[in-house]
Structure 1
Amino acid sequence: MNRGRKLGSLPVRIRYFILLAVVCGSSFISMMYRNMDLTLFMNPPIDTSGQYPHTTDTDKRFTIRTEGCSMPFLHLFDVSVQPFVEYPKNLKPCRDQKVSLLKHNKSKITINMENLHYYNITDRRLLFCCYQAFYRPNTIDDITSSSIDSRVKYNKCIYFTTSINRPMAEEFVKVTCYFNKSRVYQQFYLSAPEKIGSNIKREVMTNETTFNVLILGIDAVSRLNFYRTMPKTASFLKDYGAIDFLGYNKVGDNTFPNLIPLLLGNRDSELKDKCLPNSKATFDNCPFVWEWFKEAGYYTAFAEDSSSLGMFNFVKAGFIRTPTDYYTHTFITQAERYAGYNKDFNSFLCMNDYYFYKVLLDYIVNLTNTLKNSKLFGFIWEVTMSHDHLNYPMVMDDDYLDFFKKLKDTNYLDKTVLFLMSDHGIRWGSIRSTKQGRLEERLPFMFIMVPPSFREAFPKAYSNLKFNSRRLTTPFDIHATLMDLVDLGTINNSMVSKRSKEAYARNRSISLFLPIPSNRTCKMADIDDHWCTCLKNIALHNESSEAKRAATHVLSHLNDLVSDYSVCARLSLVRVIEIAELEAGRPDENETGWKEYMVVLQTSPGDGVFEATVRYDSEGWKLSGTVSRLNLYGEQSRCVHDYHLKLYCYCI
């Protein structure tokens, strides 16, 4: 064989295969190095230095290894999940922004005359647009109870034929364009003007130890899926010194039961006695954390990019009073109704030619610029892109990176404590049927970034924050952390030392500025065994007696839940898909021997797939926590409006 033979002289077929091998090989090597770097960031070397060593166990089989909790190590691209990870090829894009009929900046909206032909506008003299500001009225006259939170009032149309100056004080705007009296285009515009009035008296930034607090959420993204789908954003967080909480464990099934502990310090089941007496009650009497910050002189903001899936509006009554100084629910409701485009399962992805998540990111930048000299507490939650699809967050990575760069370039991150987090991992789909997918669903991502001035002013609190990144943590702990951020005097060195000696260790809510004890278990943290990721399990046969009895108990529970609703079918067992015995630790002193099982079963009608944890003891079978649904119910439960029952009801 002539070793010096040139590639061009080889047969075409051989040249093709050589070229393919080179391309694939280089792509694989590139991916391998990129993943190696991410894996190192995801699982940083165990730090045994400092006052509170993370652990003395360097066993790489565990992400967390403490006396009270051992979480198994999960590989970023484990063979069981790798087949489900790919760029979303079937995602429908928004309408093309390049052909938009309107151009806009902060102060002006202009008709783009170059694009008239896209809308079959042949005579510009017959084209005009209606500019309408709208707002959420303070009174609720003539508003039905079902739409109190979504109430809206529009100002009169201001017509224009070329451009219009937008008053800076107008927060929500709708523009509708007509040609020959027929509507041809409609778009909405959101801004964050400074609000001044007798009811709003907020303090300005006074010194270097005053910090904004921003909580930014991306719905339904596990810690590992964040690294898989948003690596550029993850890299920025790494470079900026963000702390990655490896043991952040959810405490409930979906968004609501995981964010109520964060915002109120309670379980959702405890709200009935505290502030939510019935299913039709609004949330106005609930003591949310933003009330503390408001009293401390902060502006407050609460924004979501979905109205239909809003955490306080999805089959819930929402608010009568406007809960925060800046509240976008009215805007998003109108934008979904009149400009919602590209609905994908549960939500519209687009506001005409603009992704809803980008509307949210731009709004935060606008808000931080407006309030750059004032204190701000913001709770901002993205839903539309991430809620229903494992890989859709890939689409957002560049935009989130640009967003963080903007905050950095304006020096906003230098005076802000920022939480970037999720509520849970993806709760359905093929990945959820894998063992790793089950664990990922229970382990959302959570990062905390604090500026250098915070680290210098509160060194012990910051040291504990890093230390707790390898402890079992929950949304309850974020609630306690926010309490400390309202009053920074609670986390100076002397106070942290004093509080660390107090009997706080068994509380379910522990500030992340205090050291979380090594012996903390799921029970101590008030995590039901069903959601606990610290438990080992032993697989059993699907036809075993334990499988049949556990499945029968879960099925009976489901039928009891819907028994009062004649519109819901009675469910029957199709098969047991999986069962495992859980190593749940030692029983309490007042408990006799018991065993716990995780069971996955399929029911009929509707082919619902459910996962539950059940316990068997001397008193028989009982459920531990709630029952998870692993596949989408879609329109199957359209006849019920209780957000719990929607998981289980098959409408007749």
Structure 2
Amino acid sequence: MGRSLKSLNCIRCAPSHFKYLFLLAIVCGAIFLFFTISNTTVDFFLSYETPTSPMDFRRSSIPESDEGFTINTVGCTIPGLRPFDDSIKKFITPPDISQCRYANISLLGSNDTHIWVIHERLQYYNVPDNVSFSCCYKPFYRPNTILDITSNDVDERVKYDTCVMFADYIEVANEFVKVSCSYHLKIIYESFFLFAPKKPFISYQAKEKKVNFTDLGRNLTNKTSYNVIVIGIDTVSRLNFYRTMPKTLTFLKMKGAIELLGYNKVGDNTFPNLTPMLMGIKDTDLKKTCWPDLRSSFDNCPIIWKWFKEAGYYTALGEDSAKLGTFNFGKMGFVGNPTDYYTHTFMHEAEINVGNNKDFNSFICMGNKYFYQVLLDYIEALTRTLKSSRLFGFFWEVTLSHDYLNYPMAMDYSYEKFLRKLDKSQYLNDTVLVLLSDHGIRWGNIRHTKQGRLEERLPFVQILLPPSFRENYEYAYNNIKQNSRRLTTPFDIHATLMDLIDLNKIKDEIIDSRRKTSYANERSISLFLPIPTNRTCKTAAIDDHWCTCYKSRKILDSDKKVIDAAQNLVKHLNVLIQDQPQCAQLKLDEILDASEMMVGTQHEREKEWSEIMVVVRTLPGGGVFEATLRQDEAQWMLAGTVSRLNLYGDQSRCVQHYQLKLFCFCQ
């Protein structure tokens, strides 16, 4: 201490110009030290470098696998891809999203137990703080019966209770709450609140018999089991996750999350990719399994949360949009509550009453709060409420990430903060967390690049296992690490989740015996088992159109095979809409791109059949479609479904079918 004072006195007694020079040296040294430490920290924690401006991209340092391939096995090679490849730099720009700009200043605050008036903000509503002012607390819920329905759609039914008035604060006793505040008999503010109260545990057997059994503090789940939380972010490829959510990625890497580099989608959009994940079957199999037509509900479908419920878990299904819900967009949804905690009723009411900042397909904000943040806060509240029980939760964000390539940048900080909170609360010590997407961006200019086409088929998957997992299930852990560089699909996620219901199935001795079973041709393989190196798209049930393992070569648009393929594609589109007289017949306007897929042997391609991936524009409407067609002798057939590469907007307003909307141009 004395030495420090002496140094300070020396500075004071020095000539003034020496003082300034000395202080300047200290400041420069501090700045240099700051940037040195900052750069070292960034380089240490980040596996790649993020752009400092839309056009300032530095070389990514993401490690690639063998010989520059993303994965390189006997059955599948996926070329090496870099987040900031030269072909896509121009598409990466910071999103122009302001903070829920059309919302009023919040007049109410809340926590897990209370809602209160923020009196100092009354001035913004021209309300004196000392006058008569009141708010109406109105709970609402989804009735158990469908006799009292206020909506034409069964999953949108809702019932509101009577008002409870308060002027200062009120204790919360409900799951969904609407609060309206009035001054001089005029409503000046309205808000919706989503809570996660502890509910009585109803066992699967009791639920089927309509008998209630209350969990009186007992943990009805095996103590050796883990919580299982699946959180989806719609329309984010593996590399776009790197580009747009580096903070979240850095946290996951720091915690030892396992990334699936060869995770290949199996269908076009959300529904055909989540059906295999949640049910273990293709969406095309639902017609003969549990969902005969669009007028049917999904109540009888073998969705995985039913098996977790049977094993003694609380279950939750939460999405941040009711309109774009996985089971609701163009579909009926559920008649009964599918899970113990189900947010659809709340999100629907919030969307139609206080939803704002609509950006193409969905409302981004609920009042002055992002809808995705509402969902994250709800998940966190559930983890607090059910900390002494076991939870299986499936949650899906769509409002911000669905329509635009770069919008996930706006969510990065929130997701990282959310994960850090779970970590700080020790919740991750008992939880298997799966963070993933269904596919990459399906439209826009990036889709016309080779990398954009591959990214669209390679969504991100990050799996974070609790620290005890590696100790207790060493073989299973080593297998999932190995499988990070194998060809994987949503079917494999389903098999993995099924294994987590009964952890006895992944004990070392059981895994050792299971791996000896021949399953090379199975489409659904648990990630806790070694996935064969000779696995192909065919054995993994990936249609040729979606397969990223195949090489391709460009061919001229004028090639006769290309013209035939394009004409047959348009013919197929017209067959799809032939029962919709309100839809115009489509005509081929232009062939935009064509490639020959290197599928099968050279002899097969030359003598027997070939596959052409073609991109066309049609009239009327200018729809841009991509498909892979196989020519077998004189016949052309689709090798998968058809992708639409540009948005249809309101062109398809005259049809309600969620698939036909892609192809219909309303006359």
* TM-score, normalised via structure 1 length: 0.90
Candidates 195, 201, 206, aligned match of 2:199? 195
Task: Report the equivalent of 2:614.
Answer: 599
Q: Does 1:175 align with 2:183?
A: no
Task: Report the equivalent of 2:348.
Answer: 333
Among all aligned residue pairs of Structure 1 and Structure 2, give the percentage whose two residues are the same amino acid.
Answer: 55
Higher mean C-alpha deviation, range 125-134 or range 391-400: 125-134
Q: Match of 1:63, as an amino acid?
A: T
- The answer to whether the 8 Å contact 2:434/2:462 transfers is yes
- The answer to whether the 8 Å contact 1:174/1:189 transfers is yes
Q: CA deviation at 1:431?
A: 1.1
Structure 1 204/626 Cα, relative in aligned 2: closer, same or farther at 3 Å?
Answer: same
CA deviations over 1:210-240 (Å, ceiling 9, x no partner): 2111101000000000010000000000010
* Aligned equivalents of 1:636, 1:96: Cα separation in 2: 27
- Give matches, 1:138-177, under 5 Å: 138-143=144-149, 146-167=152-173, 170-177=174-181
Candidates 112, 121, 125, aligned match of 1:119? 125
Q: Match of 1:185, as an amino acid?
A: Y
CA deviations over 1:309-337 (Å, ceiling 9, x no partner): 00100010000010000000000000101
* TM-score, normalised via structure 2 length: 0.88
Q: Match of 1:184, as an amino acid?
A: I
| 1:233 partner SS | helix
Q: CA deviation at 1:109?
A: 1.8
Task: Report the equivalent of 1:407.
Answer: 422
Q: Match of 1:260, as an amino acid?
A: T
Candidates 560, 582, 592, aligned match of 2:597? 582
Structure 1 441/363 Cα, relative in aligned 2: closer, same or farther at 3 Å?
Answer: same
Higher mean C-alpha deviation, range 592-601 or range 403-412: 592-601
Candidates 226, 229, 235, aligned match of 1:211? 226
Higher mean C-alpha deviation, range 139-148 or range 309-318: 139-148
| 2:399 partner SS | coil
Q: Where do 5+ consecutive residues of structure 2 fail to align?
A: 1-31, 50-58, 202-210
Quote the RMSD (CA, aligned, Å). 2.5
Q: Does 1:374 align with 2:389?
A: yes
Structure 1 390/70 Cα, relative in aligned 2: closer, same or farther at 3 Å?
Answer: same
* Aligned equivalents of 1:36, 1:283: Cα separation in 2: 42
Structure 1 435/45 Cα, relative in aligned 2: closer, same or farther at 3 Å?
Answer: closer
Task: Report the equivalent of 2:95.
Answer: 88
Q: Where do 5+ consecutive residues of structure 1 fail to align?
A: 1-21, 47-57
- The answer to whether the 8 Å contact 2:231/2:396 transfers is yes
Task: Report the equivalent of 2:48.
Answer: 38
CA deviations over 1:540-562 (Å, ceiling 9, x no partner): 11222122111100000001111
Structure 1 42/473 Cα, relative in aligned 2: closer, same or farther at 3 Å?
Answer: farther
- The answer to whether the 8 Å contact 1:249/1:442 transfers is yes
* Aligned equivalents of 1:234, 1:88: Cα separation in 2: 19
Candidates 516, 527, 530, aligned match of 2:542? 527
Structure 1 615/365 Cα, relative in aligned 2: closer, same or farther at 3 Å?
Answer: same
Task: Report the equivalent of 1:646.
Answer: 661
Q: Match of 2:75, as an amino acid?
A: G
> Between Structure 1 and Structure 2, how many residues are aligned?
612
* Aligned equivalents of 1:473, 1:68: Cα separation in 2: 12
CA deviations over 1:555-586 (Å, ceiling 9, x no partner): 00001111111100011111000000000124
Q: CA deviation at 1:187?
A: 0.7
* Aligned equivalents of 1:41, 1:298: Cα separation in 2: 42
| 2:136 partner SS | strand
Structure 1 577/31 Cα, relative in aligned 2: closer, same or farther at 3 Å?
Answer: farther
* Aligned equivalents of 1:36, 1:539: Cα separation in 2: 36
* Aligned equivalents of 2:645, 2:130: Cα separation in 1: 54
- Give matches, 1:611-622, under 5 Å: 611-622=626-637
- The answer to whether the 8 Å contact 2:46/2:250 transfers is no
Q: CA deviation at 1:105?
A: 2.2
Q: Match of 1:176, as an amino acid?
A: S
Q: Does 1:476 align with 2:473?
A: no
Q: Does 1:552 align with 2:549?
A: no
* Aligned equivalents of 1:285, 1:182: Cα separation in 2: 46
Q: Match of 2:140, as an amino acid?
A: F
Q: Does 1:396 align with 2:411?
A: yes
- The answer to whether the 8 Å contact 2:220/2:312 transfers is no
* Aligned equivalents of 1:147, 1:543: Cα separation in 2: 50
* Aligned equivalents of 2:538, 2:41: Cα separation in 1: 40
- The answer to whether the 8 Å contact 2:447/2:456 transfers is yes
Candidates 427, 434, 455, aligned match of 2:470? 455
Task: Report the equivalent of 1:99.
Answer: 105
Q: Does 1:243 align with 2:258?
A: yes
Q: Match of 2:160, as an amino acid?
A: Y
